[in-house]
Structures are given as structure tokens and as C-alpha cells.
């Protein structure tokens, strides 16, 4: 009786926070996520939601295309914008076991981008690497690979590809040694790097900033001269410029923040020497991805 | 199961007593066995009339054949006769069985008990043959195979007049269809629903996966009316509420997103995706809580929005889906519903076109028309289109009563088609 009263009360508060329609749906999803023996209870979930925690962390998963990925704080929760352009990228190319592609995803986080590509492309057509500086992220990416039934270890080079492979790698993209473990050249390089400028980040409410890793959000290190959120695009461009990183006909796809597309296009053209660029808009009509081809 | 099956007089269409196709005619159960032929013939009156007309046509064709059978008209006649051959054979076997049955009747009063037993067995077997002709053989020869026989179904239910009581009744009906589908072995899932605070549903979309689901359920389309005392009504007054049901055809391919096919062009579909207002991307996800502040709501809670809306510009049909957490899933569902609605439009148009070329009109129910009443005080369900009433509401709501209505409606439809086929050839 007590529990149901408190659920009722908490739900009423959620309604006044989110509006009835959204609150009702979220409540339904919470109930669906309940596992009887699990320690997670409905009042606890509602409490956490009311204190501002993202639903994806409370439920522990998020849909990403046809995949259902694990989410754990503080690793960045995959966004629908990223889902949209990854699906579009997957649609654009059609690798086969005879013409396989090697993918490198920088700042891979949950591993959502390479995992979706591995899931959508035919078995044996894709070998993907995901680089991240965070141990939490790499652990989560490994768990997600297992959840998606995608092997996350280097297959023996003697056996031909029969499955797609996603290998999460802990490392700093500024560290030149990291490419001893990865095997360039790459056919596709993707990234959803941190891109929020400091001044925008500061305006975000503390209750929300508490949950996701600032390192996955802040576009520039605190000591950086530039505070435009573009530091990682400059770093990635230096990488791309290195000999042997890209093949002829390779594709680079970088997600960008609000009003950053033109600047990132400029960086790729000037600093990486990639002249053939285009910009994709997201479903909300915001310039969201800069695409470059060698 | 039902206390009584009886006919009520409908202004729309007279309907004779309804027998389920599995009914067996047992000699022992009929003190007046001679009535059995009459009963079977009355039961299948519409079918037999349709068959007789076709047989008459065949006889005339035969009579008009010229001696040498070589003129172009003769060739056309010969082809028609050949097409009618299977029906003619079935008719011959019917006539033969009927004759034998008549001959068996006197033997059932024979003084020799062995003879009586034999005659009785013979009687049961022949009666079964005759009823099978009515329920299966003739319809299979006269009713063309349905072009929609493979399709699955989407059931859309919307509460009409009656407020929360209508929403509660919607839930009752939804359960009936879910249980029925389960009993047939079809898989169901509720792909959209909006629950009311009183525990009912304002609307719902039920997906029913199973071959033949559409053909079986299509006649459920229309307004269902309930007359009962709501659980919440203290004065005991009977309320009348309604729920509108639309049964849509669903094909296997309907699940794919986008793509150009015969139903629509991708360029004609406007896809809108909702999201918590804000800039999107890494920022917007977090910004959404500020929107809530603007709305004068407290708490910093970021929103999850995954709703998708499709608009098919040429028809103005819109579909909104928001029940799944995944936008991708909602989009897939929305395209599924859009395809089902467009296929429904296409089927209705095909029927209208065909009908325009016929003299014999097949009446199909308008969806705004009241098709059925569930009267609790009288413990009765009535289908107004065929004038069929079943007593024992509980068996409808909690048993398999709906099957009797579906059978009767299907049979009514088949008979209309058979009459129609005859009409065409005249």
C-alpha cells in the first residue's frame, strides 16, 4: 500500500515535470524495464528521474537504430542525431566479404557508431576499431560488442573473415604510438568528438552536468588557447594528414555541434588537405556532419 | 455454449437461422429425419440458388451448341462449359447424395434392427456429405480465392461517445481480439495505446501477425456500441458508449522503412521527428531541461522524445507513433501503419471499381455505421448487418463467442459473392 502510494505521488511529480504524455510513456518504459529479482524498484527509478538523471542511465540501455545498447555513467549517451547519420552512412556504402572495409571510430564512447555499422553490413565485410581515452568507455564498448554478438578481439590473420569485428582500444588520439595497435590505412574514419564550447557547457544545469563525462562533452581542454569547441577537429585533421592513414576513396565523417559545420569543413580542407567535403543536416534541419572524401 | 441462437429481424437484410459449418446431422437426434434435407436446403438456400443458376447457364450453353461445334461462338461456349465442369460434377454428386438420402429414409423404419442400423449410418454419412457441399464444396468452386488471404491485420480502436466508459469498453474489446488471435495461433502486439487515468484506453493499435488475419477480421470494422451500467455509476443508470474499430490489411513488406512501391512514393511522405526542443546533438540533449523551465515546470529533468509523424501528401493521411523508446522503431511502426492505411484505401477503391461494373451490388458497411450492440441488461450481442444475436455476453467477452460472428459474417460475404458471380453472367 505504502509503495503504491509513493509511486502515485512520484508519478504525479513526474507529470508536472515532463507533461502527462511524456511522463506516462517514461513510466511505462520503467515498468517494462523492471526485473522482479532486481534491486531496482519503481519508486527508486522515479526518484532518480525526478532528480534529473537521464532515463537512459536509469534503465541502463538506449535504442540505437535496431540495436539496444548498454548505457552507464559517465559514458556519453548515444544521441538520436548520431543514430540518424550513422544509419545514413551505413546506407551509403555496401561492403562485401570480397571488398571489406576497415573502420576507425575516434572517441567511440559506447561504441555505438562502429557497432551499428558492423550490425548493418554483411558478415565478414567490416573490421572496426574504436579508440577512446576513457577506461569506462572502453569497458562499456566491449560489453556492448558482446551484447550485439560482435566479436571484439583481433581475428587470426590466417582465417578469412566470416564475421564483422569491432575492437575497442584504450588510447589517446594524440599519442602516435597508438597506431601500432591499429592497422592503417582506414577506409572510413568516423568520430563524434567532444564539441561543446566552455561557455555553452557552463550554462548547462549542474544537475545534468553531474551525469555525463565532461571529457566527452567539452570541446577544448581548459588550458587551450582556443575555446571554440573545435580542438578535437584540429587534432583529428593532424591525424588524417599523416601518410598511410587513409586510402584513395576513403571517407571521413565527423559529427559537429551547433554552427560548427562551416568551421570544421574549413579545418578539414586546409589542415587535412581534404578538398572534397560536404555537410549533412540532421532530421531537425541542423548542420550535423561534415563528410570528406579523399 | 450459448443458451440460444436466434434470429432477430433486421431492416437491412433477412438472415436465416445460422448453423455453424461443423454441425452434424444425426439421425438419432432428429425424430423427424425427413426434415433434414429440408433443413440443409434451407440452410444453404442462397448457395443452392447460385449453383442452380450456373447449372442452368451450362444447360443452355449445351443446348445452343451447333452440330459440328466449329463456329467461334461454339468455341467460346465450349470453353465456358469446360469452366463449369467442376461445378457440374459437384452438383451431380449433390443430387446423387440427396437422392440416396431420400431412399434411405424408409429403411430407417425397417423392422430388421440390422437394417435400421445400417440405414442410420448411411443417413449420417449422406447428411454429412450434403452439409459439406453447402459449407465447403460449392463455396470453394464459386468464391474466387481471396487476393488478401495472406495478409496480416492491424486493428485500430478509438473510443467514441461515452468518455471514460467508452475507454473501458475499448479495453474489453481489445482483450477479445487478443484472446481470439491467440486461440488461432496468431501473434499480437499492442503497438500504440493511450491509457486513461480510469484504467481504460482512448485508442489503441493492435498488430495481428498471422496469415488470413485480415480476411477473418475485416468485418469487425465499424462502430461497436455497448449498453451497460458503468462500474463507476452509482445510480445504476445504463449508459450507451461506442468504440470505432478499423481493420487494416498488413503485408509482410510493410515493415521496411521508406522505399518506393505501388502504394506510395517516398517523395510524397513528409517525415517529422520530435525531440526535446533545443539545439540537438551533445548540447541539445541537455538543453531540454531548460525548456521545461520556460514552461514554468520545476525540476531539471531532460526529456526523452522519440515521436515520429508521417504525412502522406497526396491523401493527407498522417500517422504519429511515440510508444517505443527508439525513434527508429517508431518510424518503422509509422511506415507500417501508413502502408496498411494506403493498402486499405487501395482495396476499397478496387472494390468500388469492380462494383461499378456490376448490376448486383454487394453492400459493404460504412465505417461510421453502427454494426454491433453489446447489451448487458439483456445479456446479448447483436450484429445489425446480418441480424444475428447471441445470448451470453460473457462467452463473447471471455470465451470464443466472437468466432460465431466471424463465421457468420464470412459466410454472409461468401454468399454475396456467389450471388454476385451469378449476377455477372446474366
Task: Express each pLDDT in A116-167 by its tens digit.
Answer: 999 999 999 999 999 999 999 999 999 999 999 999 887 665 455 689 999 9
Asked if A131 and A259 sit in the same domain, the reply is: yes
Asked if A42 and A188 sit in the same domain, the reply is: no
Domain presence at residue A70: no
Asked if A217 and A285 sit in the same domain, the reply is: yes
> Of B235, B241, B77, B59, which Cα lies nearest the Cα of B164?
B241
Angle between helices A80-92 and B327-356 (to 10 degrees): 60
Asked if A98 and A174 sit in the same domain, the reply is: yes
Q: pLDDT at position B415, please? A: 83
Please indicate whether, in this complex, the C-beta atoms of B281 and A207 are within 8 angstroms of each other. no
Asked if B106 and B54 sit in the same domain, the reply is: yes
Asked if B316 and B215 sit in the same domain, the reply is: no
Q: Is B322 an interface residue toward A (CB < 8 Å)?
A: yes
Asked if B392 and B325 sit in the same domain, the reply is: no
Q: How far away is chain B from the Cα of A83, in angstroms, using its nearest Cα?
A: 9
Is the pLDDT reported for residue A3 higher than 50? yes
Helix-, strand-, coil-residue percentages of chain B, each rounded to 5: 50, 20, 35
pLDDT category, A18, cuts 50, 70, 90?
confident
Asked if B125 and B174 sit in the same domain, the reply is: no
Q: pLDDT at position A271, please? A: 92
Residue-number span of the structural domain to which A124 is assigned: 80-293
Asked if A225 and A115 sit in the same domain, the reply is: yes
Q: Is B300 an interface residue toward A (CB < 8 Å)?
A: yes
Q: Which ranges of chain B have pLDDT less than 70?
A: 1-34, 254-260, 275-304, 355-366, 421-426
Asked if A102 and A196 sit in the same domain, the reply is: yes
Q: How many domains does one find in chain B?
A: 3
Asked if B405 and B280 sit in the same domain, the reply is: no
Domain presence at residue A64: no
Is the pLDDT reported for residue A278 higher than 50? yes
d(CA A225, CA B277): 32
Q: What is the mean pLDDT of residues A73-77?
A: 93
Q: Is B355 an interface residue toward A (CB < 8 Å)?
A: no
Domain presence at residue A74: no
Asked if B339 and B393 sit in the same domain, the reply is: no
d(CA A86, CA A190): 9
Asked if A226 and A181 sit in the same domain, the reply is: yes
Q: pLDDT at position B273, please? A: 83
Domain presence at residue A72: no
Q: pLDDT at position B19, please? A: 39
Under 8 Å between Cβ of B193 and B203: yes
Is the pLDDT reported for residue A201 higher than 70? yes
Sort out which chain B residues have CB atoms less than 8 A from A52's CB and list them: 289, 299-302
Q: pLDDT at position B334, please? A: 94
Q: pLDDT at position B293, please? A: 31
Asked if B138 and B171 sit in the same domain, the reply is: no
Q: How many domains does one find in chain A?
A: 2
Q: Give tens-digit pLDDT for B222-248.
A: 999 999 998 777 788 899 999 999 999
Question: Of B121, B142, B163, which marks where a domain is finished?
Answer: B142
Q: pLDDT at position A156, please? A: 61
CB pairs under 8 A between A and B: 116
Q: Does A175 or A192 have the greater pLDDT score?
A: A192
Domain presence at residue A135: yes
Q: pLDDT at position B15, please? A: 38
> Of B17, B11, B65, B55, which Cα lies nearest the Cα of B38?
B17
Residue-number span of the structural domain to which B137 is assigned: 32-142
Please measure the distance between the N-terminal and C-terminal CA atoms of chain B and give it in whole angstroms: 43
DSSP characters over chain A:
-HHHHHHHHHHHHHHHHH-HHHHHHHHHHHHHH--TTSS--HHHHHHHHHTT--HHHHHSEEEETTEEEE--TTSPPPPHHHHHHHHHHHHH----SSS-EEEEEES-TTTHHHHHHHHHSPTTSEEEEEEES-HHHHHHHHHHHHHTT---SPPPTTSPP-S-EEEEEE--TT-GGGGGTS---EEEEEE----B-HHHHHHS-HHHHTTS-GGGTBSS-TT-S--SS-HHHHHHHHHHHSTTSEEEEEEEEEE--TT-HHHHHHHHHHTS---EEEEEE-TTS-EEEEEEE-
Neighbours of A65 (CB within 10 A): 23
Select the residue of B289, B303, B325 nearest A63 (Cβ to Cβ). Answer: B325
A78 cis-preceded (ω within 30 degrees of 0)? no
Q: pLDDT at position B260, please? A: 58
Whole-structure pTM value: 0.75
Domain presence at residue B7: no
Select the residue of A55, A195, A196 nearest B304 (Cβ to Cβ). Answer: A55
Q: Does A214 or B419 have the greater pLDDT score?
A: A214
Is the pLDDT reported for residue A265 higher than 90? yes
The complex's ipTM works out to 0.80
User: Which CATH number covers residue A289?
Assistant: 3.40.50.150
Select the residue of B283, B292, B297 nearest A257 (Cβ to Cβ). Answer: B283
Asked if B218 and B366 sit in the same domain, the reply is: yes
Select the residue of A17, A81, A196 nearest B301 (Cβ to Cβ). Answer: A17
d(CA A248, CA B59): 79
Helices vs. strands in chain B: H and E counts, helices first = 11, 12
The DSSP symbol for B17 reads P
Is the pLDDT reported for residue A58 higher than 90? yes
Sort out which chain B residues have CB atoms less than 8 A from A76's CB and list them: 282
Q: Is B305 an interface residue toward A (CB < 8 Å)?
A: yes
Q: Does B29 or A78 have the greater pLDDT score?
A: A78
Asked if B348 and B367 sit in the same domain, the reply is: no
Please indicate whether, in this complex, the C-beta atoms of A257 and B281 are within 8 angstroms of each other. yes
Amino acid at each position: 500500500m505504502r509503495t503504491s502510494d509513493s509511486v502515485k505521488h512520484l508519478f504525479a511529480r513526474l507529470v508536472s515535470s515532463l507533461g502527462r504524455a511524456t511522463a506516462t510513456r517514461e513510466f511505462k518504459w520503467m515498468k517494462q524495464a523492471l526485473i522482479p529479482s532486481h534491486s531496482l524498484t519503481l519508486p527508486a527509478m522515479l526518484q532518480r528521474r525526478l532528480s534529473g538523471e537521464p532515463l537512459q542511465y536509469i534503465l541502463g540501455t538506449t535504442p540505437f537504430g535496431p540495436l539496444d545498447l548498454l548505457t552507464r555513467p559517465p559514458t556519453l549517451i548515444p544521441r538520436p542525431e548520431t543514430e540518424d547519420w550513422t544509419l545514413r552512412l551505413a546506407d551509403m556504402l555496401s561492403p562485401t566479404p570480397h571488398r571489406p572495409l576497415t573502420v576507425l571510430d575516434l572517441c567511440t564512447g559506447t561504441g555505438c557508431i562502429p557497432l551499428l555499422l558492423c550490425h548493418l553490413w554483411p558478415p565478414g565485410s567490416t573490421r572496426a576499431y574504436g579508440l577512446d581515452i576513457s577506461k569506462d568507455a572502453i569497458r562499456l564498448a566491449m560489453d556492448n560488442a558482446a551484447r550485439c554478438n560482435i566479436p571484439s578481439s583481433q581475428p587470426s590473420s590466417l582465417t578469412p573473415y566470416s564475421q564483422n569485428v569491432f575492437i575497442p582500444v584504450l588510447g589517446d588520439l594524440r599519442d602516435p604510438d597508438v597506431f601500432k595497435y591499429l592497422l592503417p590505412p582506414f577506409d572510413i574514419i568516423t568520430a563524434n568528438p567532444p564539441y561543446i564550447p566552455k561557455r555553452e557547457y557552463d550554462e548547462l544545469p549542474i544537475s545534468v552536468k553531474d551525469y555525463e563525462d565532461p571529457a566527452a562533452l567539452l570541446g577544448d581542454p581548459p588550458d587551450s588557447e582556443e575555446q571554440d569547441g573545435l580542438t578535437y577537429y584540429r587534432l583529428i585533421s593532424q591525424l588524417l594528414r599523416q601518410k598511410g592513414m587513409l586510402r584513395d576513396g576513403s571517407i571521413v565523417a565527423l559529427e559537429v555541434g551547433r554552427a560548427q559545420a562551416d568551421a570544421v569543413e574549413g579545418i578539414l580542407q586546409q589542415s587535412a588537405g581534404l578538398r572534397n567535403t560536404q555537410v549533412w543536416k540532421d532530421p531537425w534541419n541542423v548542420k550535423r556532419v561534415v563528410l570528406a572524401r579523399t | 455454449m450459448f443458451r440460444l441462437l436466434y434470429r432477430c429481424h433486421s431492416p437491412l437484410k433477412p438472415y436465416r437461422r445460422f448453423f455453424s459449418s461443423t454441425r452434424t446431422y444425426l439421425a438419432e437426434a432428429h425424430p423427424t429425419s425427413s426434415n433434414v434435407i429440408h433443413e440443409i436446403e434451407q440452410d444453404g438456400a442462397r448457395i443452392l440458388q447460385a449453383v442452380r443458376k450456373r447449372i442452368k447457364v451450362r444447360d443452355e450453353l449445351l443446348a445452343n451448341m451447333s452440330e459440328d461445334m466449329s463456329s467461334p461462338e461454339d468455341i467460346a461456349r465450349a470453353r465456358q462449359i469446360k469452366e463449369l465442369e467442376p461445378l457440374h460434377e459437384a452438383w451431380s454428386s449433390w443430387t446423387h447424395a440427396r437422392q440416396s438420402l431420400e431412399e434411405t429414409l424408409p429403411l430407417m423404419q425397417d423392422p430388421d434392427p440390422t437394417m435400421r442400423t445400417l440405414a442410420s449410418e448411411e443417413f449420417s454419412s449422406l447428411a454429412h456429405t450434403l452439409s459439406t457441399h453447402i459449407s465447403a464444396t460449392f463455396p470453394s468452386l464459386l468464391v474466387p480465392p481471396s487476393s488478401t488471404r495472406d495478409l496480416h491485420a492491424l486493428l485500430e480502436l478509438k473510443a467514441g461517445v461515452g468518455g471514460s466508459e467508452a475507454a473501458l469498453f475499448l479495453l474489453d474489446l481489445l482483450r477479445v481480439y487478443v484472446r481470439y488471435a491467440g486461440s488461432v495461433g496468431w501473434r499480437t502486439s499492442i503497438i500504440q495505446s493511450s491509457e486513461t487515468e480510469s484504467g481504460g484506453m482512448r485508442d489503441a493499435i493492435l498488430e495481428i501477425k498471422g496469415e488470413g488475419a485480415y480476411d477473418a477480421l475485416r468485418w469487425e470494422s465499424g462502430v461497436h456500441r455497448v449498453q451497460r451500467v458503468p462500474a463507476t455509476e452509482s445510480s445504476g443508470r445504463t449508459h450507451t458508449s461506442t468504440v470505432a474499430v478499423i481493420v487494416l490489411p498488413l503485408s509482410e513488406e510493410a515493415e521496411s522503412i521508406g522505399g518506393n512501391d505501388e502504394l506510395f512514393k517516398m517523395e510524397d511522405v513528409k517525415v517529422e521527428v520530435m525531440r526535446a526542443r533545443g539545439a540537438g546533438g551533445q548540447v541539445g540533449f541537455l538543453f531540454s531541461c531548460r525548456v521545461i523551465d520556460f514552461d514554468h515546470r520545476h525540476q531539471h529533468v531532460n526529456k526523452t522524445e522519440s515521436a515520429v509523424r508521417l504525412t502522406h501528401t497526396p491523401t493527407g493521411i498522417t500517422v504519429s507513433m511515440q510508444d517505443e523508446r527508439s525513434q527508429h522503431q517508431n518510424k518503422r511502426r509509422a511506415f507500417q501503419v501508413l502502408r496498411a492505411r494506403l493498402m486499405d484505401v487501395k482495396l476499397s477503391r478496387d472494390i468500388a471499381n469492380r462494383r461499378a461494373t456490376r448490376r448486383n451490388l454487394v453492400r459493404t458497411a460504412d465505417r461510421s455505421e453502427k454494426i454491433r450492440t453489446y447489451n448487458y441488461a439483456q445479456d446479448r450481442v447483436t450484429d445489425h448487418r446480418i441480424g444475428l444475436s447471441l445470448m451470453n455476453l460473457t462467452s463473447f467477452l471471455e470465451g470464443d463467442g466472437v468466432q460465431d460472428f466471424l463465421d457468420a459474417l464470412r459466410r454472409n460475404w461468401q454468399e454475396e459473392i456467389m450471388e454476385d458471380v451469378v449476377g455477372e453472367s446474366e
